[in-house]
Amino acid sequence: MEYKIVVLVKQVPDTHNISGDVMKEDGTINRPALPAIFNPEDLNALEMALEIKDKTPGTKITALTMGPPSASEVLRQCLYRGADQVFLLSDIKFAGSDTWATAYTLAAAVKKIVPDADLILAGRQAIDGDTAQVGPQVAEKAGVNQVTYAEEILELEKRSVTLRRLIEGGIEEVKVSLPAMITVVDTANRPRPAEVRRMMKYKKALSRLDFASALKTHLEYKDEEELERDLKKKGLLIPVVCADDLEVDLRKLGLFGSPTKVKKIENVVLKKEETVELTPDSKGAERLISDLRRAKILG
């Protein structure tokens, strides 16, 4: 028994560790204040895929990401941990996608690259938007079964998996027919670290979008063509998928194809009309407590 698994991963700004202001004075996003990381729950999804592979030799894991050229870093991270192949969906036509257009593009890519996928796994949500929408939308677009908030795969069968998932205030165990799109929560597992041997090999993996800068440091290559040939030979070329490679309606891609639009972005400044400042000593403490008791807020 073996499975064809696709893992959808995303490179995100590390919104939990922000250094400095997120917005510049001109109102645009201050990218340098937001280091890029592997979306945490996508690592849980990758780990779930790797655990399935550990139990079912012959299982093949394909990792996909959609993003700018620099997103190839999360694909290298997938390779370090044991993904069999990776693809970078990168095209200016994808830029500005909301969750609908993102799911539309990802589903088209899954269909193109792994048309007979048994499982599509992804993190429940990405920390830059926290919407948790892309997983369910990929399920709808791909026309497959949908299961969210998965914690643990309990049983693997040929055409189904049994898993435990979160429900409001508890858990349930479900038997899920395949193919299915499954989103994974952070309590599912502890993602394994990169494997040193694989890291030594795959840290040199590049997509053609990295070539121009790579040539500046790798003087041994005369041009992009030679670099590409060499990477291909060594299995280190990360394939780039663009809009023209997919069976998609171009009008449904990117900003243009996105039903939602950002009307306004602002730094919110909330101000209380009146703030009482108290001293950090017993006098301040007694004043506070007696104020609150008088207002019948404290008993």
Partner 1 sequence: MKRQGSVMVFIEQEDGQIKDVSFELLTKARDLASELKEKVSAFVMGEKVSGLADEIAAHGADLIYTIEDKELKYYRTLPYFHAAKKAIREENPQIVLFGATLIGRDLAPHVASYFYTGLTADCTELQIGEEKMLYQIRPAFGGNIRATIVTPDYAPQMATVREGVMKKGEPVKGRKAEVRPLKVSIPAEVAGLTAILHRERKEKTINLKGAEVIVAGGMGLGSAEGFALVKELAKVLGAEVGATRAAVDAGWAEADRQIGQTGTTVRPKLYFAVGISGAIQHRAGMEESFKIVAVNTDPEAPIFDIADYKIVGDYKTVLPELIAAYKKLQQ
Instruction: Tally Cβ neighbours within 10 Å of residue 233.
Output: 9
Assess 271 for contact with partner 1 (CB under 8 A): yes
Q: Who contacts 292 (Cβ-Cβ below 8 Å, separation ≥6)?
A: 298
Assess 293 for contact with partner 1 (CB under 8 A): yes
Q: Give whichever of 57 and 169 is closer to partner 1, judged by the CB atom.
A: 169
Assess 141 for contact with partner 1 (CB under 8 A): yes
Assess 196 for contact with partner 1 (CB under 8 A): no
* Residue the block writes with tokens 């370090």: 80
Q: Give whichever of 217 and 275 is closer to partner 1, judged by the CB atom.
A: 275
The stretch among 64-72, 115-123, 219-227, 281-289 that binds partner 1 (CB under 8 A) is 281-289
Assess 23 for contact with partner 1 (CB under 8 A): yes
Kindly state the smallest distance separating residue 214's Cβ from partner 1, in Å.
Answer: 31
Question: In 15-58, where does DSSP find H-type helix?
Answer: 40-55
Contact 65, 33 (CB under 8 A): no
The single residue among 1, 29, 200, 212 that binds partner 1, judged by CB under 8 A, is 29
Assess 19 for contact with partner 1 (CB under 8 A): no
Assess 290 for contact with partner 1 (CB under 8 A): yes
* 241: region left, alpha or beta (phi > 0 left; psi from -120 to 50 alpha): beta
Assess 69 for contact with partner 1 (CB under 8 A): no
The single residue among 51, 73, 128, 195 that binds partner 1, judged by CB under 8 A, is 128
Contact 248, 236 (CB under 8 A): no
Between CA 49 and CA 67 the distance in angstroms is 22
Kindly state the smallest distance separating residue 209's Cβ from partner 1, in Å.
Answer: 25
Assess 162 for contact with partner 1 (CB under 8 A): yes
Kindly state the smallest distance separating residue 167's Cβ from partner 1, in Å.
Answer: 6
- For 104, counting Cβ atoms within 10 Å of its Cβ (0-12 exposed, 13-18 middle, 19+ buried), the class is buried
Q: Who contacts 19 (Cβ-Cβ below 8 Å, separation ≥6)?
A: 33, 35
